[in-house]
Structure 1
Amino acid sequence: MKKFLKILGVTLLSIILLLSVALGTFMYKVKYGFPVSYETEKPAIQFPANRPAILVFTKTTGFRHAESIDASIPLLKGLGKAHNYFVYETAEGGVFNSEQLKQFSLVIFDNSTGRVLDDDQQAALEKYVEEGGSLMGIHGAGDDSHRWDWYETNLLGAKFSHHPLNPQFQQSDVRLSENVDSLFSKNLVKQWSNTDEWYVFFNQPKDVTVLYSINGDKIIPNGNMLWMTDKNFGMGANHPVAWYRQVGKGKTFYTSMGHSAVVWQNPDYLKLIEQGIAWSIQKN
């Protein structure tokens, strides 16, 4: 009997250790990205004349918000039809070259996570924005898996910390800030309700205009899990969830909302994305 219990104990301990290693490996890859390959071949794109072109980029090498991405594509294409935009969706990085980027009025990182572009492609996107292009990021595009200083500084202006885990999804009122660009304020509601996975950043975003915020004191921001026990903090009553800024001659716009397919069914959220596109492609 003692021998059996000893074998059982060793077996259970081995299983626990293996599960811990597997979970730790998975969490590391979520945070720092899975093995990466870079696509460098230029795609063949037929750009329609006299229509603004929008690049929707859905590549992920970190956590993939598959449901949100899948829900977003038909809606973004629907906005394209409604407003006469040409929407080109891809998960291939070969389009990030100077020749083709300059033909787009806007690039959207649609829940794109991890390191998704090589050095030359990153440089091409940086130049594109700084010389007058626009970049939009949705939800996962703002986590800390990208490892790209320019991107973190110019799209986010803040460093991602965590998101709540218990509960992961919470309802909150989303409030429109004062003194924002009239293209936004004249078309967006002043307050609406949304249920989402609220991203917590270490600091308030710098050098940006906050468009929407929530009262962070009214959500449970606890992101503690296993060995991560220092994530029980939030951003306070002023918790930004959408903001924009000028970058050189170009523009960036980011919203931390958009984790699930359900969010895309919220007409107020879709209006935010619609107005974000309109603001992004408007010439200065």
Structure 2
Amino acid sequence: MKTLLASFVLWWLLAAAPVPASADDQFKVLVVAVPNRYHHDYTVVAKPRLEQMARQHGFGLDWAWNTAPFDADLSGFDAIVLLNTPGDELRGAQRAALEGFVRAGGGVVAVHRALIFNPPGDWPWFERMIGRAFRIHPMVQTALVRVEDASFPAAFALPSRWIWSDEWYEFGPPLVDGLRTVLSVDERSYDPGRIWPGQVARGMGADHPVAWYHAFDGGRVFVTALGHPPAAYDDADYLAHLYGGIWWAATGRGIDGDAGATDAGD
């Protein structure tokens, strides 16, 4: 029993320890995962999986449970992953730090809850960086996801038609030009109106994006609305989707043409 307990403690310590950066790392990523009311239990699964991803693919990864890194120098990172961490968690100079990071050519990956900003209009730059404004979502349901851009790294490992279960966020019209849809959801495959009493969701119709990317203000931004269920971070397809976006955001590689350019100002 003592041996089993000691093994568990050792595993926990290893899982909790950050992945150290080394001179051999191809790039370095900061993951910011601030727990909130509806998104906290995912971190238990996500942290060891993303650290395993970093070891597998040879990149450096720092993990933060709060926004303190935005009070320090961000120039050592190539990409920042806002993992269920919305922009309203950042205040004052922290917001200016993120803007400066992007304008210097840095990449941002916004995942699920990071797409919701409250109150709307309080930080227009962040909302334009995300590219679309969140409206509402129905209950978690299984649906058919379609690959709209198979040439983007976040879709490389996915089938053209993918069965996935999630919160199907609804959005307003694009806030900037140049958004390129990677994945969409087929609303015929789930019930957009299945929602809690007192709320109304109607869906978006035939054009319902759930992942996209764009060049923004000197940097690169990949956005995925997927990632609500904690079990998502145990799913190989979802992790491949996420890593494809991280790789592109950090390096600009993996796509042809000018879609990965970082000199566009939105």
Across the aligned residues of Structure 1 and Structure 2, the Cα RMSD in angstroms comes to: 2.4
Match of 2:172 in 1: 202
1:241-270 Cα distance to aligned partner (Å, 9 max, x none): 111100132101111111111222322111
Q: How does 1:9-88 map to 2 (within 5 A)?
A: 47-51=21-25, 52-60=27-35, 62-88=36-62
The letter for the 1-side match of 2:113 is G
The letter for the 1-side match of 2:169 is Y
Instruction: Classify 1:191/1:226 alpha carbon distance in 2 versus 1 (closer, same or farther; 3 Å).
Output: closer
Counterpart Cα distance in 2 of 1:53 and 1:275: 15
Unpaired runs of at least 5, structure 1: 1-44
The letter for the 1-side match of 2:163 is S
Aligned to 1:154, the other structure's residue is in SS state helix
Does the alignment pair 1:127 with 2:100?
Answer: yes
1:157-178 Cα distance to aligned partner (Å, 9 max, x none): 11111110xxx11111211114
Higher helix share: 1
Match of 2:217 in 1: 248
Deviation, 1:113, is 3.7
Counterpart Cα distance in 1 of 2:66 and 2:150: 38
Count of residues in Structure 1 that have an aligned counterpart in Structure 2: 231
Counterpart Cα distance in 2 of 1:232 and 1:74: 35
Match of 1:214 in 2: 185
Aligned to 2:160, which of 181, 190, 198? 190
Q: Could you state the TM-score of these two structures normalised by the residue count of structure 2?
A: 0.78
Deviation, 1:124, is 0.9
Instruction: Classify 1:127/1:261 alpha carbon distance in 2 versus 1 (closer, same or farther; 3 Å).
Output: same
Deviation, 1:216, is 2.0
Deviation, 1:185, is 5.0
1:62-104 Cα distance to aligned partner (Å, 9 max, x none): 534112222211111111000111111112322114x621100
Aligned to 2:89, which of 109, 116, 122? 116
CA contact (8 A) 2:20 2:60 kept: no
1:144-189 Cα distance to aligned partner (Å, 9 max, x none): 336422111112x11111110xxx11111211114743x4454443
Counterpart Cα distance in 1 of 2:158 and 2:97: 33
Match of 1:263 in 2: 232
Counterpart Cα distance in 1 of 2:116 and 2:202: 17
Deviation, 1:140, is 0.6
Deviation, 1:206, is 4.3
Aligned to 2:41, the other structure's residue is in SS state helix
The letter for the 2-side match of 1:74 is P
The letter for the 2-side match of 1:240 is P
Aligned to 2:204, which of 202, 219, 235? 235
Match of 1:19 in 2: none
CA contact (8 A) 1:144 1:161 kept: no
Counterpart Cα distance in 2 of 1:87 and 1:175: 30
Counterpart Cα distance in 2 of 1:198 and 1:148: 24
Does the alignment pair 1:149 with 2:146?
Answer: no
Q: Could you state the TM-score of these two structures normalised by the residue count of structure 1?
A: 0.74
Deviation, 1:139, is 0.6
Larger Rg: 1
Match of 2:255 in 1: none
Match of 2:66 in 1: 92
Deviation, 1:133, is 0.1
The letter for the 1-side match of 2:29 is I
Deviation, 1:117, is 1.4
